[in-house]
Structure 1
């Protein structure tokens, strides 16, 4: 039936994806969704004005290219449905469903080249297994229901399409020598578009090269000389250049200043992390699959913990074995090597956080290929029936666990409680549960949830890797409910700010306190606030200094102090548009017209695609300049 109706399985797969993930539609924004989407003013569009849309496209500070395609997709959601998490999650599910269909197409092309001796019907069923198992796998839940990770799934829309185009081109080359345009579209066009969603897509040429290295029909093709030249240009030379660019950045003294590990410790830890990714993908344990993994133990040496050494040995053996079996089991080799290749950006030297499940969005496809090869292609005789049974059991199990995870994501309070139960030593999970209890209490002092929230947040304060988020939540709760603000909370927060690195959590915590004080909703004493900011500025950070400047301007009314702080921020990050916008606003409010005009001119020059034009026009409106007026002060 499937061969007569080729559209039927893709349609059923798409429907299955929507059904399995449907419960997760009801959940709200979480964690990084807030700074990137919900609190991103540039995404709140009210017209089709080009300047607004350009500003939205380049409103992310993630990645050197700012991921404009992903940000535009969020802007489209916001324009038509507002900041509605349901519409954004629905879009994510649709993207994942499209990716599932692309994976099915890609795997069918791959099996035709890699397993020509297997009958077509068997190849079709194996491709259906891979696509369904990948699409419904629980390790990809975060790539779907964690809204901001649309960046990951959308980037891989182009990765999957690019690899499919590449295989079509190579098939045509093997048949009649044509196909170069397909190859170019896959390697160049799709890589470029994918990178504009997220940098993960930069690995597409590496995945394509592994196709050449593992699939005999490609490895021994008449075009292998041209292929070597192609990959010298698109993979190896860029790789060498990238390493030269990256080396001084990851070895600089400040490279890991916002982390509690250094470069060596990161590399040692990632060996264990990658082995856990492997385990979570093949045998996913619902108890261990969570949003937060900040309680993951850092490896401080080869035997600290001892599993570090064993993990490295295990990964090395697996990698060598995969390379050695390329001739006999090309699909198994390719799947394992794809799994390793997918970790090249996030599990090596770049100072990212250690563990996130969404980093396996492509890696999990590699392992599904391995299962298809070992369960559906390799067995013979009665063993073939056992292989089919195990594959079916795995697929149903994956779908069931994913559906359970979708239910976990269906309610914010339930999600927070589940995360805290699964990760009792995770500061983020414990804080997240305390925060949701605070929200559920509606800041009513007589709510039975208030003492539970206080206990949860105070427990979070005491966890070894805890930051200051619990402190901020406690202080905000106390201020809104008119309960006592303990000096110990303020003192411990200032001490942690002074001693530890300043990262997104610290910025978020201090920002929440500052905004509540600025709005006069919270009665925080000025000595406590200044103590907090002085602790934070022991380690200069532009965002933290911006918050202090905001407080100095709007609460302390110390205008010269605020101006000096804003100027210092611009000196720290001269290429960040928002910092110049902040400075220009203060200059305008203080009557420093000439300085403001210069900042506006610089702001325009920084906008590569006119994305700063809307902000520049708004600032000129504050100055009383008409559009197109000369960029100099008329008061000289």
Structure 2
């Protein structure tokens, strides 16, 4: 009954956010559905499209097809499925906590504590930005399969009716199955052996284990964990990837302990101020002489050491600490990811919440019977407070007109928050206010070229005089840096430039794009620079200037040779009637598109053959017309 109430309460708390809207990476990932997915060929092409991590995340991407087979779409359905996954994760958290606690206390106490663990995790406001951000279904599914894997493992470990051989076989199968499902949802799923190892060395350490089981744990849990730690600690692997970041590897390692304590403060305080998707303003720490960085580093290392040393004497505390830290191994250590994201805590928060509930219950038992009676009342009140805050926060997530201005106000030092707010103002028909916001943002972030580009785009789309002179931006291009906002800003400007009163600035836009390689850090963003020249070529085509497009597309092919760049050239040569060159470019595209085993696959092979036939057919028709003339 209590679990049903917790699930229903969570469902109700999130309802204001369900209508919602798509945000940021939602568009990058879901736009791969554009054109529709109606057969196997389109499905495989959809899985290959986009930048969804090194493993492609096919499980998570396939789950989006539950909601729609095409794009654009309605966000409500996507968010509803995210909420259902969240409820499933909460149910699994309950089952896992109950399994772990039944060996330590009575059935009634285990059920009660497991219920409060699940309820607090489900209803905590820190989860809103994961559950209601559609693309974070990847994080949710990864967590779902990890929780399944841990729960099944614990159930098998505690099942004394199984023979040892059958138990080890089922544990191996479970580990492989759920690790694969979790990892192909999101790469953090590879942490399943880490979560299992944490559980084994803490809460399951007192459970008898045979020699063969000890050997299995070393091979299946210890070894993968040590390999992961060695991989993360191999600095030469990670150092070069920081060239495109605004911080160094050393600065990241100093900053992450501070971020971890900030996550825990959000967990304890239940505050929603400052929470959301924009954390590019999180402070970067550059020296251990900074007391905040030093204390945070000492705190994390001390907590890990104490948890490992006293894991048998204080298994609940050790489990809470190591589950949280282990859950952050991949995203909060050496990998060159961004410094701070709330969704990284979605699964790791299970550990601290478990520890809070179990240790809190133990403290009440020790204090006395009278206070112990107030434990359930305190737990219910805490869940109600958490749910109420989540309900209010969900209201903000359901209203773009409230959420985006709040983010901009709470993150004045976040370029992303300010750019998003300006876009919102322009979309609301307030271009002058948007331009003023961008002026102020450019004063704070003078190296961000995307801000003046966005300002020009907004001014042109509303028939206003641009506040920035493009030739001046070209002259001062080296004073700027590449940022993640430049590509979408330039795409928007190029996409509608010729249909606005700024059509006379087309040549200046070409000059600006051609100056992009002179940005201060452009050498570390070759893909982005190449995408700028694709836009340049597309603008030339819209102007009816194929020679200009050819020059730009050839630059793309020289910078980042790929099947798509060769296909782009082939299409251009086909448009201009250079059939032989178009065919040679298509042959290059096919060669680049061929997999390592020399096979393209049936659908891709047929597609290329169709393109070859089209070129030959058009060439024949052209020759026939010439002969007739």
Q: Name the TM-score class by shorter chain.
A: 0.7 to 0.9
Alpha-carbon distance change, 117 to 86 in structure 1, aligned in 2, over 3 angstroms: closer
Q: CA deviation at 1:82?
A: 5.4
**Aligned partners of 1:60 and 1:67 also within 8 Å:** no
Deviations along 1:337-365, whole A, 9 cap, x unmatched? Answer: 11111111111111111111001011111
SS class of match (1:179): helix
| Counterpart Cα distance in 1 of 2:14 and 2:129 | 11
Is 2:497 the counterpart of 1:517?
Answer: yes
Deviates more, 1:564-573 or 1:156-165: 564-573
- CA offsets per residue over residues 296-345 of structure 1, 9 Å max, x none? 111121234x3111211222222223223322331221111111111111
Q: Secondary structure, in 3 states, of the residue corresponding to 1:392?
A: helix
Residue 177 of structure 2: SS of its match in structure 1? helix
Aligned to 1:459: 440
RMSD of aligned residue pairs (Cα, Å): 3.1
Aligned mates of 2:12, 2:599 — CA distance in 1: 41
Q: 1:201 to 1:361 in 2, by over 3 A?
A: same
Q: How many residues align?
A: 603
Deviates more, 1:330-339 or 1:468-477: 468-477
Counterpart residue number, 1:231: 221
Is 1:526 the counterpart of 2:484? The answer is no
**Residue 223 of structure 2 corresponds to residue 269 of structure 1:** no
What is the aligned partner in structure 2 of residue 5 from structure 1?
none
2:482 to 494, 502, 511: 502
Per-residue CA distance 1:504-534 (angstroms, 9 max, x = gap): 3221122221222256675251343133213
- The question of whether the paired residues in 1 share the 8 Å contact of 2:149 and 2:179 is answered with yes
Aligned-partner Cα distance in 2 for 1:544–1:106: 48
Deviates more, 1:486-495 or 1:329-338: 486-495
Quick one: structure 1 residues 210 and 554, their matched pair in 2 at CA, closer, same or farther if it must change by over 3 Å? same
The equivalences for 1:363-442 within 5 A come to: 363-380=348-365, 381=368, 382-441=370-429
* Correspondence for 1:162: 149
After superposing the two structures, state which structure 1 stretch, 344-353 or 211-220, moved more.
211-220
SS in 1 for 2:349: helix
Gaps of 5+ in 2: 618-622, 624-629
In the other structure, the counterpart of 1:323 is 308
SS in 2 for 1:523: helix
1:528 is paired with a residue whose SS is helix
- Structure of larger gyration radius: 2
State the SS of the aligned residue for 1:27. Answer: coil
Change (3 A) 1:219 1:247: farther
Q: Which stretch has the larger CA shift, 482-491 or 202-211?
A: 482-491
What is the match of residue 129 of structure 1? 116
Distance 2:408 2:90 in 1: 31
Instruction: Give, in whole Å, the separation in 1 of the partners of 2:314 and 2:591.
Output: 58
Corresponding residue of 1:120: 107
Q: State how far apart, in whole Å, the 1-side matches of 2:446 and 2:45 are.
A: 36
**Alignment match, 2:620:** none
Q: Which residue of 1 aligns with 2:328?
A: 343
Q: Decide which of 282, 286, 292 is 2:278's aligned counterpart.
A: 292
**Mean Cα deviation higher: 414-423 or 42-51:** 42-51
Aligned to 1:36: 29
Deviation at 1:233, TM superposition (A): 4.6
Matched, 1:307 2:292: yes
Residue among 404, 413, 431 paired with 1:450: 431
C-alpha distance 217-271 of structure 1, shift in aligned 2 (>3 A):
closer
Distance 1:173-1:119 versus aligned 2 partners, 3 A rule = closer
Task: Output the TM-score relative to the length of structure 1.
Answer: 0.87
Which of 141, 155, 171 is residue 158 of structure 2 equivalent to?
A: 171
C-alpha separation between the residues in 1 aligned to 2:569 and 2:100? 55
Select between 347-356 and 509-518 the one with higher mean Cα deviation. Answer: 509-518
